[in-house]
Structure 1
Amino acid sequence: MGKKRKLAYQTGHKAAKQPPTPQGKKIAKGPSDTKPKPSTSTPPKQVPTRPQEPTIPFSPEDAILLVGEGDLSFSASLVEHHYCENITATVLEASEDDLKTKYPHVGENIAKIEAEGSKVVYAVDARKMGPFANKKGKDAVGTMDRIIFNFPHVGGKSTDVNRQVRYNQELLVDFFKRALLSLAPRGTIIVTLFEGEPYTLWNIRDLGRHSGLQVERSFRFQASAYPGYHHARTLGVVKNKQGEVGGGWKGEDRAARSYVFVRKDEVPKPVSRKRRRSLGDGEDDSSDEG
C-alpha cells in the first residue's frame, strides 16, 4: 500500500510595499494654498484567496460502512486514494449482474475494493438493513466507526414535491434507526445532501433529533477530494441524447453539504467561540443547537 499523502496549501502571501507619498510643494500665497503632487505609489497587489482544505470525516483505520453506494466509485476512491483498509460497501441491487446492468463500468470499482481486502455486499436496503455487530440481540454492539450515506433519494416515485419530500424523510428516518444498530460507541453517521430546495425541505437535522441523534457539525462536501468519484443517479447511468454514457447532468458539480451525526448522549461539550476561530475552518458548523 502506498505512502499516505497529505493535502498541503501555500498560505504565505506578502503584501506589496508602498513607497512613501511625496510631499507637496507650496505655491503662491501661503500654507493654505499648498497643493500636493499626484501620488506615484503603486496600488497593493491583490492577495489570492487561499483554497479551502477539504474536510475528510474519517481515518484510514476506521471501520466504514457505506450505504446506497450506486456505482461504487466513492468506495473505490476511499480504498485507492485515502488508503482505507476496512470498507463495507453496500448496494441495493441483488447481485453484481444487476449492478452492472445499471452501471456498466462498475466492475473496475468492485475489483479495486476487493483487491485491498474490503468487500461489497448486495441486497442491502437502507431502510431494513440488519446490524453489522459483533453480538446478537440486546447484547449486540455495533462495529462501524463511520456510516456514510451519500445523496440518499428514493428515486422518481412522484413528481409532486410534497410527496417527494415525505418519501425521502421516511427513507432517512428508517435509515437512522437501522444505522444505529451498526454504529460503534462514539461512532458517527454522515449524510450528504445537495444544497437548496427541495433538499432543505427535508429538515435533516430534525429527522436526526427524532431518531436519537444530533448534528455534531456540518461541512461543504468537495467531490474533488475523492479522485475517481462520480455522482451516480439512483436509476442508473446518465446518458446524452445520442444514448452515450456520461452525457448531461453531473451531480458532483453541484454544491452539497455533509452532516455528521452522533448519539445524543455522546454529544461533545460546546466549543468556545475563541477556540472555534483558532480551528481555522470557516466552512464547518459548530455542534447543532436547539
Structure 2
Amino acid sequence: MAKRRKLQHPKAPQRPAARPQQKDHGPSKKKPLQPAKKQQHRQQQHDEPVIPFSPNDRILLVGEADLSFAASIIQHHRCTNVTATVLEKDHAELVEKYPAVDTNIAVVNRRPDADAPPTSPSHGAESAAGKDGQSDVDEAAEDSSANYDSEDDSQAEKPRPVAVNNKLVYNVDATKFPSSIARTPHDRIIFNFPHVGGKSTDVNRQVRYNQELLVSFFQRALASPAAPLARGGSIIVTLFESEPYTLWNIRDLGRHAGLQLERSFRFQAAAYPGYHHARTFGVVRNKKGEESSGWKGEDRPARSYVFMRKEEMQDQTNKKKRKRGGDDSSSDEDDD
C-alpha cells in the first residue's frame, strides 16, 4: 500500500522583529534649519550694499573726475552737503576730458527752488586757486529748502525744509587741500579709485607713486590746525581688488599716516545708479577718435576701506570692552 503524503501548509510570513523603543530624551539639540537660516542671513548681508554715509553727513569727494558718483549720491541718496572736488583747473578742461560731465554738474549745482532759472554748467562752482570764501550761489544755498510732496497733503504734515549746500570746486589736489576746504570739517572724506595716471610703465614705480599719493592724502586730511576730517569722522578709499592695486598695501599706508582701519567692504557700483568709473586721463578713444565703451571699471571687483584716527578707534574699542564686561574685540574687520 502506498504511503500517503502529508499535506504541508505554506509557512506564514515571519513578522519583522520589532525595533526597540528609544527613550524620549526631549527635543533634539540639533536644528537642521538653523544653519540654513544663518547662511541665508549671511548671504543677504553679503548681497546688500554698504553705504558708508548718511544723507546729512558733510561729505568731501576727492578726485571726482566725471562727477557721476557725486550726482548719484545727491539724486538717489539725497545727500545735501556734498563738496565735490576735481583736479582739473576749470570747466573747459573738465569737459575736454569728460564730454558728458555737464549733466552731472547740473545735478551738483541744482538748488531746490523750482522757480529759479537753470544754472549754466560752470555756475556755482569755484576754483581752489580763486577766493577762499564760498561763491554767491553757495552762500544763498544755506537759505534754500527742499520740500518733498507727500501722497496726501491734507492729512500728512509737510517735512521741514532741508538746507542744500552741494557744490563743485575745481583745481583741488588731493595732497594740498586749499583753506576754503580745509577749514570746514567733514564727516566723510571719500576718494574713489585714486591713481596718479600714466607716470610710468614700470609696475614698481607705479606702485610707489600711488603709495606716495595716498600717504600725502591721508596726512593732509589729518593736518592741524585746519583738518578737513572732523573729529569722529572717517576716510573712505576704494580700490580694485586686483594687482597692482593690492600691492599698494593700503592698510599699512593708513597706519603710517596715523589712521587705523575700522572695516572694509565690497564696493557695489549698482548701489549708485548713474555711476560710471572714469579714468584719470579722461575718456578712452580709439584710433578714429571715437569713444570706446569696451572697458567698464564699475564691473570689476572693488573694495572700500574705512579709516579713522588711531586714538578715536582706541576710544571706541575701550568703550566696547567696558560695555561687554572686558571682552576683547577686534575693530580691524572685513565685511564680506
The TM-score, its normalising length taken from structure 2, stands at 0.64
When the two chains are superposed, the root-mean-square deviation of aligned CA atoms in Å is 2.5
The answer (yes or no) to whether the contact 1:72–1:109 under 8 Å persists in 2 is yes
- Any conservation in 2 of the 1:240–1:248 contact (CA below 8 Å)? no
In 1, distance between residues paired with 2:268 and 2:13? 65
Give the corresponding residue for 1:127: 175
Q: How does 1:252-271 map to 2 (within 5 A)?
A: 252-267=298-313, 268-269=316-317
Q: Deviations over 1:190-222 (max 9, x none)?
A: 000000211111010000001010000000000
Aligned residue number for residue 87 of structure 2: 92
CA distance in 2, matches of 1:213, 1:130: 22
**AA paired with 2:200?**
S
Amino acid at match of 1:68: G
Query: Counterpart of 1:216?
Result: 262
After superposition, give the CA deviation of every residue in 1:29-49 in whole Å (9 maximum; x if it has no partner). 7759xxxxxxxxxxxxx9986
Distance 1:186 1:249, change over 3 A: same
Higher-Rg structure is 2
- CA–CA separation in structure 1 for the residues paired with 2:182 and 2:92: 28
- Which residue pairs with 1:205 in the alignment? 251
CA drift of 1:246 comes to: 4.7
Match of 2:48 among 49, 53, 57: 53
Contact 1:239-1:248 at 8 Å conserved across structures: no
SS in structure 2 opposite 1:188? Answer: strand
**CA shift for structure 1 position 244:** 3.0
1: distance between equivalents of 2:167 and 2:190?
A: 15
Given candidates 175, 178, 189, the residue that maps to 2:220 is 178
Residue 28 to residue 237, structure 1, CA distance change in 2 (3 Å): farther
Q: CA deviation at 1:61?
A: 0.3
Name the CA distance, whole Å, in 2 between partners of 1:232 and 1:287. Answer: 32
Q: Distance in 1 between matches of 2:271 and 2:51?
A: 8
Question: What pairs up with 1:118-197 in 2 under 5 angstroms?
Answer: 118-131=166-179, 132-134=181-183, 142-180=184-222, 181-197=227-243
CA distance in 1, matches of 2:73, 2:287: 32
- Per-residue deviation at 1:127? 1.4
Secondary structure of the residue that 1:269 maps to in structure 2? helix
How far residue 83 of structure 1 moved from its aligned partner, in angstroms, is 0.3
CA distance in 2, matches of 1:185, 1:265: 11
- Aligned partners of 1:176 and 1:143: how far apart in 2? 15
Q: After superposition, what is the alpha-carbon deviation per residue over 1:136-185, rounded to whole angstroms, capped at 9, x for unaligned?
A: xxxxxx51000000000011111111001000000000000111221011
Instruction: Look up the equivalent residue of 2:215 and give its one-letter code.
Output: V
- Give the drift of 1:264: 0.4
Give yes or no for contact 1:239–1:245 (8 Å, CA) kept in 2: yes
Q: Secondary structure at the match of 2:265?
A: strand
SS at 1:155's partner residue? coil
Identity %: 67
Question: Which residue of 2 is the match for residue 81 of structure 1?
Answer: 76
Moved over 6 A (4+): 27-30
Aligned length: 233
Structure 1 gaps of 5+ residues are 1-26, 33-45, 135-141, 276-285
CA distance in 1: counterparts of 2:89 and 2:240, whole angstroms: 27
Work out which of the residue numbers 272, 284, 299 in structure 2 matches 1:238. Answer: 284
Alignment CA distance shift 1:31-1:195 (3 Å): same
Q: 1:177/1:30 Cα in 2 relative to 1: closer, same or farther (>3 Å)?
A: same
